[in-house]
Amino acid sequence: MALLTKDQIAAADDRAWEDVPVPEWGGTVRVLGMSGTERNAYQASVVVIGTNGKPQRVNIEDQLAKMVAKCIVGEDFERLFTDREVKELGKKNGAVLDRLADIAKRLSGLTESAVEDAAGKSGTTRNGASTSG
């Protein structure tokens, strides 16, 4: 097998997604796994850096809504909620947000231990790979 070129890698459609029924909202939403850049931005948004420049703790304020906002997309695969609309999304049913966040984490290869590792804590890593698409 030949090695991939930069153009082939750039052109690869490698982001997993799932259409998820949300009866509480009266329909279905599309959850798209985060890109590497989006995943890093999410992790940075929940990790609090101390005055010493090192991660101190995980900020759980609107953590579920932040995750879901980055991953719920329309048929065109464009985000439905911006980062500015996280508080609005956070007012929705916590159980629904939790369920969608679990799917988003799995599709994005993001585990709780990855967030803890980013915050300077250790944990066990699970395999969150998905072949949906």
Domain segments of the chain as ranges: 19-118
In our burial notation (b when 16+ CB lie closer than 10 A, e otherwise), range 62-99 reads bbbbbbbbbbbbeeeeebebeeeebeebbebeeebbeb
User: In this predicted model, what pLDDT tens digit does every residue of 97-119 receive, in sequence order?
Assistant: 999 999 999 999 987 665 555 55
pLDDT (0 to 100) of residue 78: 97
For residues 58-86, give the mean pLDDT: 94
Measure the CA angle with vertex 8, ends 6 and 11; round to 5°.
Answer: 110
User: In this predicted model, what pLDDT tens digit does every residue of 35-69 receive, in sequence order?
Assistant: 999 999 999 888 888 888 888 888 888 999 999 99
pLDDT (0 to 100) of residue 50: 84
For residues 89-104, give the mean pLDDT: 97
Which class does domain 19-118 fall in?
alpha beta
